[in-house]
Amino acid sequence: MHAAVEARGHALVTGASAGIGAALARELARRGHPLILTARRADRLEALREELSKQVDCRVLVADLEDPEAPTQLLDAVAEQGIEVGLLVNNAGYGVPGTYGSVDWETHARFLQIMITAVCELSWRFLPQLQRNAGGVINVASLAGHVPGSAGHTLYAAAKSFMIKFSQSLALENAEHGMRVCALCPGFTYSEFHDVTGTRDQVSKMPDYMWMQAEDVVREGLDAWERGEIVWVPGKVNRVIKTLTALMPDRMALKLVAKRSKDFRKL
Protein backbone atom coordinates (compact mmCIF):
# COMPACT_ATOMS: atom_id res chain seq x y z
CA MET A 1 0.00 0.00 0.00
CA HIS A 2 1.15 3.55 -0.75
CA ALA A 3 2.29 5.26 2.45
CA ALA A 4 0.11 8.25 3.31
CA VAL A 5 1.95 11.54 3.56
CA GLU A 6 1.26 13.53 6.74
CA ALA A 7 -1.91 11.52 7.28
CA ARG A 8 -2.82 13.13 10.62
CA GLY A 9 -6.53 13.86 10.55
CA HIS A 10 -9.14 12.84 8.01
CA ALA A 11 -9.29 13.89 4.35
CA LEU A 12 -12.49 15.84 3.70
CA VAL A 13 -13.52 15.49 0.05
CA THR A 14 -16.33 17.66 -1.35
CA GLY A 15 -18.31 16.53 -4.39
CA ALA A 16 -17.28 12.98 -3.54
CA SER A 17 -20.31 11.19 -4.97
CA ALA A 18 -19.07 10.87 -8.57
CA GLY A 19 -16.37 11.61 -11.12
CA ILE A 20 -13.04 13.03 -9.98
CA GLY A 21 -14.35 13.32 -6.40
CA ALA A 22 -15.12 9.62 -6.12
CA ALA A 23 -11.80 8.76 -7.78
CA LEU A 24 -9.99 10.99 -5.27
CA ALA A 25 -11.73 9.24 -2.39
CA ARG A 26 -10.74 5.81 -3.70
CA GLU A 27 -7.11 6.78 -4.25
CA LEU A 28 -6.83 8.48 -0.87
CA ALA A 29 -8.23 5.34 0.76
CA ARG A 30 -5.70 3.24 -1.14
CA ARG A 31 -2.96 5.46 0.30
CA GLY A 32 -4.27 5.01 3.83
CA HIS A 33 -6.03 8.33 4.45
CA PRO A 34 -9.15 8.16 6.65
CA LEU A 35 -12.00 9.94 4.90
CA ILE A 36 -14.94 12.29 5.32
CA LEU A 37 -17.03 12.29 2.15
CA THR A 38 -19.53 15.03 1.43
CA ALA A 39 -21.93 15.76 -1.43
CA ARG A 40 -25.67 16.15 -1.95
CA ARG A 41 -26.50 12.58 -2.98
CA ALA A 42 -26.76 10.48 0.17
CA ASP A 43 -27.30 7.17 -1.64
CA ARG A 44 -24.11 7.47 -3.68
CA LEU A 45 -22.09 8.62 -0.69
CA GLU A 46 -23.32 5.70 1.39
CA ALA A 47 -22.43 3.21 -1.36
CA LEU A 48 -18.93 4.68 -1.57
CA ARG A 49 -18.59 4.67 2.23
CA GLU A 50 -19.49 0.99 2.32
CA GLU A 51 -16.87 0.25 -0.33
CA LEU A 52 -14.04 2.28 1.22
CA SER A 53 -14.71 1.41 4.86
CA LYS A 54 -13.04 -1.91 4.13
CA GLN A 55 -9.76 0.03 3.76
CA VAL A 56 -9.95 3.07 6.07
CA ASP A 57 -12.24 4.86 8.51
CA CYS A 58 -14.79 6.52 6.23
CA ARG A 59 -17.51 8.95 7.34
CA VAL A 60 -20.31 10.53 5.31
CA LEU A 61 -21.72 14.04 5.77
CA VAL A 62 -24.50 14.99 3.36
CA ALA A 63 -24.32 18.69 2.50
CA ASP A 64 -25.23 21.06 -0.31
CA LEU A 65 -22.56 23.74 -0.71
CA GLU A 66 -25.13 25.91 -2.45
CA ASP A 67 -26.38 26.59 1.09
CA PRO A 68 -24.30 29.42 2.64
CA GLU A 69 -24.58 27.65 6.02
CA ALA A 70 -23.03 24.41 4.73
CA PRO A 71 -19.36 25.18 5.57
CA THR A 72 -20.20 25.98 9.19
CA GLN A 73 -22.45 22.93 9.41
CA LEU A 74 -19.64 20.71 8.11
CA LEU A 75 -17.19 22.18 10.62
CA ASP A 76 -19.66 21.52 13.47
CA ALA A 77 -20.45 18.01 12.24
CA VAL A 78 -16.75 17.10 12.13
CA ALA A 79 -16.27 18.44 15.66
CA GLU A 80 -19.28 16.44 16.92
CA GLN A 81 -17.63 13.25 15.68
CA GLY A 82 -14.49 14.03 17.65
CA ILE A 83 -12.18 14.05 14.64
CA GLU A 84 -10.13 16.64 12.76
CA VAL A 85 -9.42 17.36 9.11
CA GLY A 86 -5.84 17.03 7.91
CA LEU A 87 -6.48 17.36 4.18
CA LEU A 88 -9.24 19.44 2.59
CA VAL A 89 -10.08 18.56 -1.02
CA ASN A 90 -12.25 21.25 -2.61
CA ASN A 91 -13.57 19.27 -5.56
CA ALA A 92 -17.29 20.08 -5.83
CA GLY A 93 -18.06 21.90 -9.05
CA TYR A 94 -19.88 22.12 -12.35
CA GLY A 95 -20.37 24.42 -15.33
CA VAL A 96 -23.31 26.62 -16.35
CA PRO A 97 -24.09 26.33 -20.09
CA GLY A 98 -24.95 29.42 -22.11
CA THR A 99 -23.74 32.97 -22.46
CA TYR A 100 -23.61 35.28 -19.46
CA GLY A 101 -26.73 37.33 -20.25
CA SER A 102 -28.82 34.31 -21.27
CA VAL A 103 -28.66 32.82 -17.75
CA ASP A 104 -30.61 34.22 -14.79
CA TRP A 105 -28.62 35.80 -11.98
CA GLU A 106 -29.85 33.30 -9.38
CA THR A 107 -28.12 30.50 -11.34
CA HIS A 108 -24.89 32.51 -11.51
CA ALA A 109 -25.12 33.27 -7.78
CA ARG A 110 -25.49 29.58 -6.92
CA PHE A 111 -22.49 28.79 -9.10
CA LEU A 112 -20.34 31.42 -7.38
CA GLN A 113 -21.43 30.20 -3.95
CA ILE A 114 -20.30 26.64 -4.68
CA MET A 115 -17.24 27.33 -6.81
CA ILE A 116 -15.69 30.29 -4.98
CA THR A 117 -17.36 31.26 -1.71
CA ALA A 118 -17.67 27.72 -0.31
CA VAL A 119 -14.08 26.91 -1.34
CA CYS A 120 -12.77 29.98 0.47
CA GLU A 121 -14.94 29.52 3.55
CA LEU A 122 -14.17 25.82 3.98
CA SER A 123 -10.47 26.58 3.63
CA TRP A 124 -10.73 29.36 6.23
CA ARG A 125 -12.85 27.43 8.73
CA PHE A 126 -10.69 24.29 8.63
CA LEU A 127 -7.37 26.16 8.42
CA PRO A 128 -6.51 25.87 12.14
CA GLN A 129 -6.95 22.08 11.94
CA LEU A 130 -4.93 21.88 8.73
CA GLN A 131 -2.12 23.86 10.34
CA ARG A 132 -2.15 21.74 13.51
CA ASN A 133 -2.00 18.56 11.48
CA ALA A 134 0.65 19.83 9.04
CA GLY A 135 -1.80 18.77 6.35
CA GLY A 136 -2.96 20.66 3.33
CA VAL A 137 -5.46 21.59 0.68
CA ILE A 138 -6.09 20.31 -2.83
CA ASN A 139 -8.22 22.64 -4.91
CA VAL A 140 -9.52 20.93 -8.04
CA ALA A 141 -9.18 23.72 -10.59
CA SER A 142 -8.90 23.17 -14.34
CA LEU A 143 -6.74 23.63 -17.40
CA ALA A 144 -9.43 26.19 -18.27
CA GLY A 145 -7.92 28.39 -15.56
CA HIS A 146 -4.67 28.63 -17.55
CA VAL A 147 -6.05 29.40 -21.02
CA PRO A 148 -8.10 32.38 -22.23
CA GLY A 149 -11.76 32.44 -21.28
CA SER A 150 -14.15 31.00 -23.84
CA ALA A 151 -17.57 32.05 -25.08
CA GLY A 152 -20.15 30.16 -23.05
CA HIS A 153 -19.85 28.81 -19.48
CA THR A 154 -18.75 32.39 -18.77
CA LEU A 155 -17.82 32.09 -15.10
CA TYR A 156 -16.20 28.65 -15.25
CA ALA A 157 -12.68 29.57 -16.39
CA ALA A 158 -12.77 32.68 -14.20
CA ALA A 159 -13.61 30.61 -11.12
CA LYS A 160 -10.89 28.08 -11.89
CA SER A 161 -8.33 30.84 -12.44
CA PHE A 162 -9.30 32.24 -9.05
CA MET A 163 -8.74 28.82 -7.45
CA ILE A 164 -5.24 28.64 -8.91
CA LYS A 165 -4.20 32.05 -7.56
CA PHE A 166 -5.90 31.34 -4.22
CA SER A 167 -3.96 28.08 -3.94
CA GLN A 168 -0.65 29.80 -4.63
CA SER A 169 -1.19 32.42 -1.93
CA LEU A 170 -2.47 29.85 0.58
CA ALA A 171 0.57 27.66 -0.09
CA LEU A 172 3.04 30.49 0.49
CA GLU A 173 1.30 31.65 3.66
CA ASN A 174 1.17 28.21 5.24
CA ALA A 175 4.46 26.60 4.24
CA GLU A 176 5.82 27.40 7.71
CA HIS A 177 3.14 25.10 9.18
CA GLY A 178 4.29 22.19 7.01
CA MET A 179 1.15 22.48 4.89
CA ARG A 180 1.02 21.52 1.24
CA VAL A 181 -1.47 23.34 -1.00
CA CYS A 182 -1.97 22.30 -4.63
CA ALA A 183 -4.24 23.48 -7.42
CA LEU A 184 -4.93 20.38 -9.52
CA CYS A 185 -5.81 21.46 -13.06
CA PRO A 186 -7.27 18.63 -15.18
CA GLY A 187 -8.15 18.95 -18.83
CA PHE A 188 -10.83 16.80 -20.47
CA THR A 189 -11.60 13.95 -18.08
CA TYR A 190 -14.04 11.08 -18.44
CA SER A 191 -16.75 11.82 -15.84
CA GLU A 192 -20.37 12.99 -15.53
CA PHE A 193 -19.32 16.64 -15.86
CA HIS A 194 -20.18 16.97 -19.55
CA ASP A 195 -23.50 15.16 -19.12
CA VAL A 196 -24.52 17.66 -16.44
CA THR A 197 -23.56 20.63 -18.62
CA GLY A 198 -25.23 19.19 -21.72
CA THR A 199 -22.04 19.15 -23.79
CA ARG A 200 -21.53 15.39 -24.07
CA ASP A 201 -22.28 15.27 -27.82
CA GLN A 202 -19.87 18.13 -28.50
CA VAL A 203 -16.93 16.94 -26.47
CA SER A 204 -17.32 13.35 -27.65
CA LYS A 205 -15.98 14.60 -31.00
CA MET A 206 -12.70 15.65 -29.37
CA PRO A 207 -9.77 13.33 -30.25
CA ASP A 208 -8.98 10.52 -27.81
CA TYR A 209 -5.53 11.92 -26.97
CA MET A 210 -7.22 14.93 -25.35
CA TRP A 211 -8.89 12.78 -22.70
CA MET A 212 -7.73 11.31 -19.40
CA GLN A 213 -9.30 8.81 -17.03
CA ALA A 214 -10.29 10.25 -13.64
CA GLU A 215 -8.11 7.64 -11.92
CA ASP A 216 -5.02 8.85 -13.78
CA VAL A 217 -5.83 12.49 -13.02
CA VAL A 218 -6.10 11.90 -9.27
CA ARG A 219 -3.04 9.65 -9.10
CA GLU A 220 -0.94 12.38 -10.73
CA GLY A 221 -2.60 15.02 -8.60
CA LEU A 222 -2.00 13.31 -5.27
CA ASP A 223 1.58 12.53 -6.21
CA ALA A 224 2.05 16.22 -7.07
CA TRP A 225 0.52 17.34 -3.75
CA GLU A 226 2.69 14.91 -1.80
CA ARG A 227 5.90 16.21 -3.34
CA GLY A 228 4.90 19.83 -2.75
CA GLU A 229 3.79 21.03 -6.18
CA ILE A 230 1.62 24.15 -5.82
CA VAL A 231 0.05 23.97 -9.29
CA TRP A 232 -0.16 20.76 -11.28
CA VAL A 233 -1.59 20.07 -14.73
CA PRO A 234 -1.97 16.30 -15.21
CA GLY A 235 -1.20 14.77 -18.60
CA LYS A 236 1.56 15.63 -21.06
CA VAL A 237 -0.89 16.92 -23.68
CA ASN A 238 -2.49 19.27 -21.17
CA ARG A 239 0.90 20.56 -20.03
CA VAL A 240 1.85 21.26 -23.65
CA ILE A 241 -1.42 23.18 -24.15
CA LYS A 242 -0.75 25.24 -21.01
CA THR A 243 2.81 26.04 -22.11
CA LEU A 244 1.93 26.92 -25.71
CA THR A 245 -0.95 29.13 -24.60
CA ALA A 246 1.33 30.99 -22.19
CA LEU A 247 3.89 31.57 -24.95
CA MET A 248 1.35 32.87 -27.47
CA PRO A 249 0.54 36.57 -27.72
CA ASP A 250 -2.81 37.17 -25.98
CA ARG A 251 -4.49 38.18 -29.22
CA MET A 252 -3.49 34.94 -30.94
CA ALA A 253 -4.51 32.78 -27.97
CA LEU A 254 -7.91 34.46 -27.74
CA LYS A 255 -8.47 34.02 -31.47
CA LEU A 256 -7.68 30.31 -31.18
CA VAL A 257 -10.07 29.86 -28.24
CA ALA A 258 -12.77 31.84 -30.06
CA LYS A 259 -12.47 29.48 -33.01
CA ARG A 260 -12.68 26.32 -30.89
CA SER A 261 -15.17 27.35 -28.13
CA LYS A 262 -18.08 25.69 -29.91
CA ASP A 263 -16.24 22.37 -29.69
CA PHE A 264 -16.46 22.22 -25.88
CA ARG A 265 -18.84 24.95 -24.69
CA LYS A 266 -22.61 25.20 -25.07
CA LEU A 267 -23.79 28.67 -26.04
List residues with catalytic annotation.
156
3-state secondary structure of 189: strand
Nearest to 170 by CA among 129, 139, 144: 139
Q: By CB neighbour count within 10 A (0-12 exposed, 13-18 middle, 19+ buried), where does 122 fall?
A: buried
Say if CB 137 and CB 182 are below 8 A apart: yes
Maximum distance among all Cα pairs of the chain, rounded to whole angstroms? 54
One-letter amino acid for residue 18 of the chain: A
Distance of alpha carbon 166 from alpha carbon 182, whole angstroms: 10
Transcribe 41-58 into DSSP letters: -HHHHHHHHHHHTTTS-E
One-letter amino acid for residue 205 of the chain: K
Transcribe 55-71 into DSSP letters: TS-EEEEE--TTSTTHH
Torsion region of 64: left, alpha or beta (phi above 0 gives left; psi -120 to 50 gives alpha): beta
Distance of alpha carbon 209 from alpha carbon 234, whole angstroms: 13
Residues facing residue 211 across a β-bridge: 188
Distance of alpha carbon 70 from alpha carbon 89, whole angstroms: 15
